Structure 1
Amino acid sequence: MPIRPSGPLSAALCATCLLAACGDSALLPEGAGIGPSPTLPAPNKTLIPTVHIAPAKGWRDGSMPQPVAGTVVTKFAEGLAHPRWAYVLPNGDVLIAESDAPPKGDEAQGGGIKGWVQNLVMKRAGSKVPSADRITLLRDADGDGVAETRKVFLEKLSSPFGMVLVGNDLFVANADALVKFPYQEGATSIAAPATKVIDLPAGINHHWTKNVIASADGSRLYVTVGSNSNVGEKGMDQEEGRAAIWEVERTTGIHRIFASGLRNPNGMGWEPTTGALWTVVNERDELGSDLVPDYLTSVKDGGFYGWPYSYWGQNVDQRIQPARPELVAKAIKPDYGLGNHVAPLGMAFATGSRLPAQFANGVFIGEHGSWNRKPRSGYKVVFVPFANGMPTGQPIDVLTGFVDSEGNASGRPVGVAIDKNGGLLVADDVGNTIWRVAAIK
């Protein structure tokens, strides 16, 4: 029996209608929205947003994702609880954030049909159980590509995501605060309480994931904070400090907005030849299957990247009132489109990778996959080649096969990281597995 909204909408709307996209169809090929100058069609706003997510089912009958030619994929660890992020410590231990969204009530999702659609998306995406709120340590002491040691490293956190070690301090980006813990090399757990560095915007939280990395000298931390809405519909007063990357002085906690207008930045990294900060960003929804491309971009100090007033530079979003032409005029166009609604979350530059030569210079990106595009996009790990410090050419598929022949999600990639032995680790939050991609010996 189909699920229907209650109240006066029930006679006019149904889940079948929603899942069929209610008139929205892809205007461009699946690979559209990719590259430094992607084609941007006119907005195609419909009464009801497209819902075309791959329902979360998990890996069945021994199935696995498919690695690119010249590589092999193995299970580094399995049986985890919604693993979202991976961080490799200097001694080779791997920390995994097992985490999901903080509790959300009806108010957090919004009322009416939009709130009902968002709840439907969450249900089909597989967000059904409370967040594990822990970080697990995995150790592969013999270097065979499979972790033989698994320990609860930190627990009773608050929807943790990003992690970074600076000296003997391990920083963790919770959904509501940046905190730190004392770390000793080789430790398999930390019992000491957290020390809060700074509070982060939380509460009613449209985008809850927070990531953190450190500057080369360790003096500053960079923290991603996503928006609290799609395009400011909750009021811009609810977006204070959001849709931004913060710069935080490590020792004092003094912080400022480093860059803004980034709807939902997640993965970050330092480009190895230029030292520039790069990030991947989830762009806005409800303008059709082919708007707006998610992107990979360098991040300029003081830069404004358009959200919510414009997209891909000076393309004005007419939904935002009052307009802010003075902000649109200074909006920076992103460096590289990753495709429409691919949902990039994880990113890792290839430094230390021992994959085949074509993956020597560039960045690996975990694309969690679309919920509102027909046909679906993302649901894979790609590699974007770089030359002279900038992306070049087309993305290369590295790990695919996350959606089965029936349209179900066997897995969904999130965080990616290069391990101590040069393999690529991929956190799969539907398959509850950490995959490892390595060159065939």
Structure 2
Amino acid sequence: MKRTFLNLFLINLITGICAVALSAQPVVSGLKLADPELEITLWADSPLLANPTNFDVDASGRIWVTEGVNYRRSKTRGGGDQVVVLEDTDLDGVADKSTVFVQDPYLVAPMGIGVIGNQIYVSQTPDIIRYTDVNRNLVFDEGDTREVFLTGFIGSNHDHSTHSVIGGPDGKLYFNQGNCGAKITDGDGKTFYVGSFYYNKGGPQVGWNFNPTTFAGKQ
């Protein structure tokens, strides 16, 4: 008996400027593992989802996925990108149900997602957006809420900016930020700077210099 099972979530190919969803099964079948006690299987494939950028698992074992079909110059999805919820309803080890939680014109290749209870944090530069699924039906509909949780991340439609949001055991939220820089002000009015030599000239969009040597050590 195999002692460990590895699920391959999805392999999605990007050709040219268009995201082309192809089946990952031929790739999975051709993979070879060095340890004979391991097995790799395909858990989710197109058309259940397309061009995933990030995912999180909720308390019920469902997988929430941000899709980036409209990444960079690929603008093939009208109405904005989506967040979808994948489920294995018959518990056979393969996803068989996909629910669109939200399609939002503001979402253009969102790069991160964190699901904490009925709150869904989506990293969409320049913002982290918090959707609240009030009735917990896995669909953003009437009565649910949407708000900008934090803003000021640089790098629109760019994979060098903010990504996942993770809830820690201390009740705090953790997230990472790439090398595009950021100037973030929280609800208490405290401002945080993320310097960047990648974008080191600042610009009118933020009105400050990204170069970390210009503000390092300042309060």
* Post-superposition CA distance 1:396-438 (Å, at most 9, x none): xxxxxxxxxxxxxxxxxxxxxxxxxxxxxxxxxxxxxxxxxxx
How many Å separate the matches in 1 of 2:132 and 2:87?
Answer: 19
Per the TM alignment, residue 225 of structure 1 is displaced from its structure 2 partner at its CA by: 4.3
Match of 1:214 among 167, 171, 181: 167
The C-alpha deviation readout for 1:225-251, integer Å capped at 9, x for no partner, is 442xxxxxxxxxxx554xxxx7x86xx
Higher relative contact order (CA 8 A, sep 6+): 1
> How many residues of Structure 1 are paired with residues of Structure 2 in the alignment?
178
Structure 2 stretches of 5 or more lacking a match? Answer: 1-13, 201-210
Cα deviation digits, residues 41-89 of structure 1 (max 9, x gap): xxxxxxxxxxxxx956764796223253421221423223322211111
Q: 1:222 to 1:62 in 2, by over 3 A?
A: closer
- In 2: Cα distance, 1:194 partner to 1:175 partner: 15
TM-score, normalisation: structure 2: 0.61
Q: 1:161 aligns with which of 77, 89, 111?
A: 111
Percent of pairs identical after alignment? 17
The structure with the largest helix share of the pair is: 1
Q: Match of 2:97?
A: 149
Q: Name the structure where strand makes up a greater proportion of residues.
A: 2
2:149 matches 1:197: yes
Aligned-residue Cα RMSD (Å) equals: 4.0
Change (3 A) 1:185 1:71: farther
Residues 76 and 179 of structure 1, relative CA distance in 2, 3 Å threshold: same
Q: How many angstroms does 1:210 deviate by?
A: 2.6
Equivalent residue number for residue 133 of structure 2: 183
Is contact 1:135-1:152 (8 Å) kept? yes
Q: What residue ranges of structure 1 are gaps of 5+ in the alignment?
A: 1-53, 105-126, 228-238, 264-306, 309-321, 331-441
**Is the radius of gyration larger for structure 1 or structure 2?**
1
Kept after mapping to 2: 8 A contact 1:101/1:208: no
Q: Match of 1:64, SS?
A: helix
TM-score where L is the length of structure 1: 0.33
Deviations along 1:322-359, whole A, 9 cap, x unmatched? 9x6xx8xx9xxxxxxxxxxxxxxxxxxxxxxxxxxxxx
Counterpart of 1:82 in structure 2: which amino acid?
N
Contact 2:69–2:75 (8 Å) recurs in 1: no
Q: Is the 8 A contact 1:91 1:185 kept in 2?
A: no
Letter of the structure 1 residue corresponding to residue 92 of structure 2:
D
CA deviation map 1:187-242 (0-9, x unaligned): 22122241111223357665465312233323334242442xxxxxxxxxxx554x
After TM superposition, the structure 1 stretch with the greater mean CA deviation from structure 2, 252-261 or 75-84, is 252-261
| Whole-angstrom CA distance in 1 between matches of 2:59 and 2:179 | 29
Amino acid in structure 1 at the alignment position of 2:122:
V
Counterpart in 1 of 2:87?
Answer: 139
Check if 1:87 corresponds to 2:56: yes
Aligned partners of 1:173, 1:128: CA distance in 2, in Å? 19
Whether 1:63 and 2:15 are equivalent positions in the alignment is no
**CA 1:188 to 1:196, structure 2 compared with 1: closer, same or farther past 3 Å?**
same
SS of the residue 1:84 aligns to: strand
Shift of 1:134: 0.8
